[in-house]
Amino acid sequence: MQGFLNLNKPPGITSHDCVARVRRLLRLKRVGHGGTLDPAATGVLPLALGAATRLLQFLPPDKAYRATIRLGVSTTTDDLQGKIISATPVQHLHRAEVEAALKQFVGKIAQVPPAYSAIQVKGKRLYELARSGKMVEVKARTVEIYQIKVLDWRAGAFPEIDLHIVCGPGTYIRALARDLGAFLQIGGTLASLTRTYSSGFHLADSLTFDQLAALVERGAFQPVSENIALRHLQAVILSLSNAHRWCQGQKILDFRLENLETALESVRTDLNFPFSSKALVRVYREDASFLGIGQILNSANETLLVPQVVLNSNQ
């Protein structure tokens, strides 16, 4: 079995637990996930199956979330799973103040990851160090938040705001909740989180464990193909002889774009590659067999298709 699974992660288990459970359900050794979700979080968890685990690095990186932030509260983990550090009623707070503050976090920002996170420092994950009482200073990292949209506001002593957030890789929504509270000087923590989009997969198309188990029992489960998961990459096609050479690690001069009959000049003209540019592409044999991921290297003298990941070297 080879391909991808768009899993709807339930609350209360880790992303690693999800991988282990899918391994058992599908009786498959090679399963990997494309981006950790906290145990309390729900939603899209892309999983790669079989040889497709080698393709996780090529999935689109952007993500989207529905998040609820509770204001007036600070916790050790920056969400409601941690111990409360402070809780001060802020019933005076207005929605307009929070919406104005949120504008500070759109664009490229410096963000310090939560103390309880999977980031490694000297071979140890931060949450392991934090649980053992060792707090390590972590440097801020540059992340990008493309959009923050307010969905709902619930006033009260500890008001909550629901947000739709679209962001780049490495963004922690728990850190956003913490930093929003700090900016307002009242404290803030993440109350709930659902990932609605990740790496090209949408929540509406995801499968729960129960749905997956039912499909497996009926023999009806089909993984998402590489054609769909990697559709953001241009596809190129090789002849049978060139496919064999490419799968053996050789660079190829003669290839064509999907749905085009012309070869080298079409590649250069249609993709409009500047000289010395590099582009990742899906590579297929002319019988539509998926071979792997290649990189087009374009120079003033020649355009080459170079192997990056070859899934079957016996083609």
**Same structural domain for residues 152 and 186?**
yes
Asked if the structure places residue 28 within a domain, the reply is yes
CATH number of the domain that residue 21 is part of: 3.30.2350.10
Residue 272 belongs to some domain of the structure: yes
Domain at 273, CATH number? 2.30.130.10
Verify that 148 and 30 share a domain, yes or no.
Answer: no
Tell me what the pLDDT averaged over the chain comes to.
89
| 73 dihedral zone (left: phi>0; alpha: psi -120 to 50; beta) | beta
Whether residue 110 is predicted with pLDDT greater than 70 in this model: the reply is yes
For residue 247, which of 215, 220, 283 has the smallest C-alpha distance? 283
Is the model more confident about 288 or about 72?
A: 72
179 a catalytic residue: no
Per-residue pLDDT band at 35 (split at 50, 70, 90): confident
Whether 315 is covered by a domain: the verdict is no
Longest Cα separation, the chain: 72
Residues 70, 186 within the same domain? yes
Kindly state whether residues 188 and 250 are assigned to the same domain: no
Q: Which residue has the higher pLDDT, 238 or 268?
A: 238
Rounded Cα distance between 230 and 59, Å, is: 6
Query: How many independent structural domains does the chain possess?
Result: 3
Q: pTM for the whole thing?
A: 0.88
Which residues on neighbouring strands pair with residue 73, listed in sequence order? 87
pLDDT for res 279: 87
Q: What percent of the chain has pLDDT over 70?
A: 86
Q: Which of 25, 38, 300, 311 is nearest to 191 (CA)?
A: 38
Of 132 and 150, the structure prediction assigns the larger pLDDT to 150
Calculate mean pLDDT across residues 193-215. Answer: 98
Residues 218 and 239 in one domain: no
Residues 167 and 86 reside in one and the same domain: yes
Q: Is 154's pLDDT higher than 90?
A: yes
Residue 258: pLDDT band (50, 70, 90) is: confident
Residue 245 lies in a domain: yes
The C-alpha atoms of residue 267 and residue 271 are separated, in whole angstroms, by: 6
How confident is the model at residue 213, as a pLDDT?
Answer: 98
Which amino acid is located at 213 in the chain? Answer: A
Instruction: Note the pLDDT tens digit of each residue in 288-312.
Output: 899 999 998 887 678 889 999 999 7
Average of pLDDT values for 228-245? 93
* Residues 92 and 173 reside in one and the same domain: yes
Q: Determine contact, residues 295/247, Cβ cutoff 8 Å.
A: no
* Domain co-membership, 245 together with 165: no
The amino acid sitting at 141 is R
Q: Taking the CA of residue 204 as centre, how many other CA atoms within 13 Å lie in the half-sphere pointing to its CB?
A: 0
Catalytic pick among 38, 78, 79, 179:
38
Helices (H) and strands (E) in the chain, counts: 8, 18
Question: What's the pLDDT at 168?
Answer: 96
Instruction: Tell me what the mean pLDDT of segment 174-179 comes to.
Output: 97
Assign residue 272 a region (left: φ > 0; alpha: ψ between -120 and 50; beta: otherwise): left
CA terminus-to-terminus distance, the chain:
17
Strand segments (E) across the chain: 3-9, 31-33, 42-49, 63-71, 73-75, 84-87, 107-111, 120-121, 124-125, 141-154, 160-167, 188-198, 201-202, 235-238, 256-257, 278-285, 290-298, 303-310
Q: What pLDDT, on a 0 to 100 scale, did the predictor assign at position 118?
A: 65
Q: Which domain holds residue 67?
A: 63-197
- Do 192 and 77 share a structural domain? yes
Separation in Å, CA 70 to CA 98, 164, 280: 11, 15, 42
Same domain (yes/no): 159, 112:
yes
Look at 267 and 123; give whichever has higher pLDDT: 123
CB-neighbour burial class of residue 228 (10 A; exposed 0-12, middle 13-18, buried 19+): middle
Same structural domain for residues 97 and 48? no
- 268 assigned to some structural domain: yes
Assess whether pLDDT exceeds 70 at residue 121. Answer: no
Q: Is the pLDDT of residue 277 over 70?
A: no
**Proportion of the chain above pLDDT 90, given as a percent:** 76
Distance CA 249, CA 208 (A): 39
Please indicate, yes or no, if residue 214 is contained in any of the structural domains: yes
Q: Are residue 48 and residue 84 in the same domain, yes or no?
A: no
Distance between CA 278 and CA 268 in Å, rounded?
12
